[in-house]
Amino acid sequence: MRLTFLGAAREVTGSSYLVEADGVRFLVDCGMFQGGRETREKNRRAFNFDPRTIDFVILTHAHIDHSGLLPRLVALGFRGTIHTTRATCDLLAVMLPDSAHIQEKEAEYATLNRFRQDMAKRAAARGLPPRDTAPLYTVAQAQASLKQLNPVDYDLEIAPHPLVRCTFRDAGHILGSAIVEVWVGEGERRRKIVFSGDLGQPARPLLQDPTHIHDADYLLVESTYGNRDHKSMDATQDELVEAINDTLERKGGNVIIPAFAVGRTQDMLYLLADLTRQGRIPKLTVFVDSPMATAATEITYKHMALLDAETHALMGRHGGAAHFRKLDFVEDVEESKSLDRITGGAVIISASGMCEAGRIKFHLRANLPRHESTILITGFQAAGTFGRRLVDGARRVRLLGEDIPVRADLYTLGGLSAHADRTALLAWLGHFRSKPRKVFVVHGEETVANGFAADLQTQFGWDAMAPTPGLSVVLD
């Protein structure tokens, strides 16, 4: 059996792993690389295999860095089934067409951009190929890929191939996220591989805690926060209260929250409603300005059975709306534009969470130069992203073709991360009752992944390593 690390190897995006054994070839995840301009070419050359030879795909969850290249895989000839949880199927129906729309818009911009056209001509004159400005995939191709989804319940064993069995366990990361247990082969040659996917932080709003796994021959474990712990939820709530009250009551500005449409937006609505219920913040005027976040929130309520008891108690039948002065899910583009004329008193939650695309860019352009406004960073910001530049302390940024000064206050609420921190990762791994033959530490920046692999060697005595991109290993 051979395992190849196509992405998320010493980095946190592009999750994809190729498994080959006894004539069967399948992928676990098929994620998009995200970050800087160089990721565009990485996404175009992400497949070092013929997609027509892949028998099926197992998908851990809907985040684009795990699912975003599925439409490209299908467009290039993959005809198999994509197995994932029911909630993930519902989310993909929103997220993949949205991703395709972004691809189309970026391709349109690249085509019309005269500078790039000029550079392409110069490159051609030097004998270099011009930059490919076609989209990675289209909305139509994204819609077509949805037809190959197979919804699966948690804890139900399926057999996507005569030589393969797998079970999805709740990972507690986002709605529908899964740890996947995969058994490959027959008889004495059968081996169990566990793919952690992205693990959630236990005792957090909305979702159940990650399921404990007790054994594996081979384990792939994420390490996004493998080198540090999150703030406690109490400390995070204190900081959120301070940011909200200081901005709205003392400074009179707006609170801008870049938030992932799936997971983080719903977390924020829960926390704001809960803090209002406790009397720690006033009733707020909240705008959720992301059609995808609106759809994801509706899907969340559709799958209420997957949420924890505290969420049921707080959100109830009204979805928490009773705890707000105003809760407006913005759909219309003109209404979205009008939000940038609001000078104070608004909380605007908008995608994307890393500030790389979508309506959040316009709200940042309007509010970053204003001392009275506040930007709340609520999730991991990958290297090379606009959000990472803000977190790293940039005083001026280039945004939507303009040079923008950064005068707004910036808060980073690390305690809201949907990823398990170092302590939680080690606690989850501590439930293994036997030593895996090999542990591969993935989905972490290089120094973090290497450091966490060393921790596993020291604390558990496990044979652990952080694979390099493209590494292919033979599993006994």
Q: What is the per-residue pLDDT for 385? A: 85
Q: How far apart are CA 89 and CA 83, in angstroms?
A: 9
3-state secondary structure of 382: coil
Q: What number is the average pLDDT over the span 248-266? A: 92
Question: Positive or negative, the Cα torsion across 26, 87, 7, 415?
Answer: negative
Q: What is the per-residue pLDDT for 301? A: 87
Q: In what order do the strands lie in the sheet with 255-258?
A: 326-329, 285-289, 346-350, 255-258, 374-377, 409-412
Residue 129 has pLDDT above 60, yes or no: no
Q: What is the per-residue pLDDT for 132? A: 61
3-state secondary structure of 40: helix
Segment 317-362, tens digit of pLDDT: 556 788 999 999 998 999 999 999 999 999 999 988 888 888 999 9
Residue 114 has pLDDT above 60, yes or no: no
Residue 130 has pLDDT above 80, yes or no: no
Q: What is the per-residue pLDDT for 382? A: 78
Segment 181-218, tens digit of pLDDT: 999 999 899 999 999 999 999 988 889 999 999 999 99
Segment 161-186, tens digit of pLDDT: 999 999 999 999 999 999 999 999 99
Domains in the chain, ordered, with CATH?
2-226+420-474 (3.60.15.10), 233-416 (3.40.50.10890)
Q: How far apart are CA 150 and CA 164, in angstroms?
A: 16
336-338-343 Cα angle (round to 5): 120
Rg of the chain over CA atoms, in angstroms? 22
User: What's the chain's average pLDDT?
Assistant: 92
In the 8-state DSSP scheme, what is residue 211? P
How would residue 46 be classed by pLDDT, with cut points 50, 70 and 90? very high
What type of residue sits at position 326? K
26-136-24 Cα angle (round to 5): 10
Look-up: residue for tokens 């979805």?
A: 319
How would residue 419 be classed by pLDDT, with cut points 50, 70 and 90? very high
